[in-house]
Structure 1
């Protein structure tokens, strides 16, 4: 099953739904960053959620979501232009914890909860719109549900999952978001709550081969109307030209040190791990262009 998301409406229950499967793109991130299982789960959950958040917008705004709860993984950051393409990284890819009672990946331990979740929407205006909420559990799904409620005043259910095999390869990844519309009633809320009681883990359903549409149909039956789908990819838009532009912001004394002491520079993209080399002559040209 390829990576994609689906957007739908459940008019009878006054809610909108988003669901996705992201196994392939999470595996790409795992390979690029050499992620250990818990790091794969943390980054995979945040990428899945951010892709669904991007589908809530009709334009190609740049959306960046990050969190840091003081845990050993450090910062987890992902960014998308709401076009189905996403990139992301974690501070420390080599973290792995499990809960003793269940054996499940302890994402909350890796992330911690002494910190914030931040959402930045860049719509091409003078300044981007930034929202920030304190982390609740560090499990990411709970934290995003709190963000939707506290920052956007939209009651939401956020279910995210990443299943990692014994060989560290991601077996399934994805999730779903259910958001109540303004017309929602107490009966609608009760219906959704009852449906979610004892509902299987989304990672388990995806691993069993269930599609995003099938998972939503398990919850809402034929009441759900699917509106559109979108293919999803891990893709980094870095380039040597972009890093050349970034180097023009470096102070002259630092550029001089790169030229005269290091005899060149090597820059690694934190999103995809690709390395770009700059020779002495290239650095001299960048410095000259700064003052042209």
Structure 2
């Protein structure tokens, strides 16, 4: 199955909510656009997978969220933007990072991310956006998001995300799950969940072998899982030639004159999609004429 999508689910008793996603094609697209090396692909892929699932937590059609992972490792900052309609985009400051494998023979995401902070900003259509932040506890990202939900949003959670990268740097599989325990859950259920998570094969191995997001949840929760929503997930960037021109025009006469003198044309590269936009000299001069 090649379709990327995320699901929102619960159990019949209503004491657990769950999310799962397949994001293989999304991460492939980001790898293609940003030319990420394997460890950067894994880190960015984990972050956008969580972003895709958190999009399902948003209620309003225009609600959106931003994830910022600011570590002191060689990757620099990771930024993810997602909305409630399954549109996701993201980038990493330094995509060409190469590190030795970690002690377990895996890509060293923790070493690439380093120590720092995880920030979540949610635009819910209110006067002020919701802001939450926690220190990074491991840099592996799954554990860091677990800590964020449990500490900042005060919802006991478990987050499992992964990206499987082939020897040639291509993306073989990507996805994950979020489990959140709600009031009323008993200790026996929590213990069973912990045991199932510990015994579960890696998320990426399951996805590569054909498991769907629903399969992931049934494996960790059981057959009683009830899927409430199924949302396609895809890369989408809101930049466009028109928006770039509007942004440049808003800079004013002095800034446009400086661009003309120093470079002769304006070049803008979008962080999120890596598209390059060029406004040539004649158009810049026309704008100057309009301001005068």
Q: What TM-score do the two structures reach when normalised by structure 2?
A: 0.94
Question: Which residue in 2 is equivalent to 1:204?
Answer: 205
Give the gaps of 5 or more residues in structure 2. none
Question: Which residue in 1 is equivalent to 2:185?
Answer: 184
**Deviation of residue 286 (structure 1)?**
4.4
Matched, 1:219 2:220: yes
Distance in structure 2 (CA, Å) of the matches to 1:9 and 1:123: 23
Per-residue CA distance 1:95-147 (angstroms, 9 max, x = gap): 1324343211110010002x111111112333322211111111111111111
Matched length: 290
**Deviation of residue 285 (structure 1)?**
4.5
Is the 8 Å Cα contact of residues 12 and 223 (structure 1) preserved in structure 2?
no
Larger mean CA deviation between 265-274 and 180-189 belongs to 180-189
Distance in structure 2 (CA, Å) of the matches to 1:121 and 1:17: 20
Give the gaps of 5 or more residues in structure 1. none
Cα distance, 1:121–1:100 mapped onto 2, change above 3 Å: closer
Per-residue CA distance 1:207-254 (angstroms, 9 max, x = gap): 111111112111222211111211111111211221223224436433
**Superposed counterparts of 1:1-292, under 5 Å:** 1=1, 2-12=3-13, 14-60=15-61, 61-113=63-115, 115-250=116-251, 252-286=253-287
Distance in structure 1 (CA, Å) of the matches to 2:210 and 2:178: 19
Backbone CA RMSD of aligned residues: 1.7
Distance in structure 2 (CA, Å) of the matches to 1:125 and 1:248: 29
Distance in structure 1 (CA, Å) of the matches to 2:75 and 2:270: 18
Is the 8 Å Cα contact of residues 74 and 92 (structure 1) preserved in structure 2?
yes
**Deviation of residue 188 (structure 1)?**
2.0
Per-residue CA distance 1:164-211 (angstroms, 9 max, x = gap): 011111000000000011222222211211222232111111111111
Distance in structure 1 (CA, Å) of the matches to 2:119 and 2:38: 24
Distance in structure 1 (CA, Å) of the matches to 2:289 and 2:19: 50
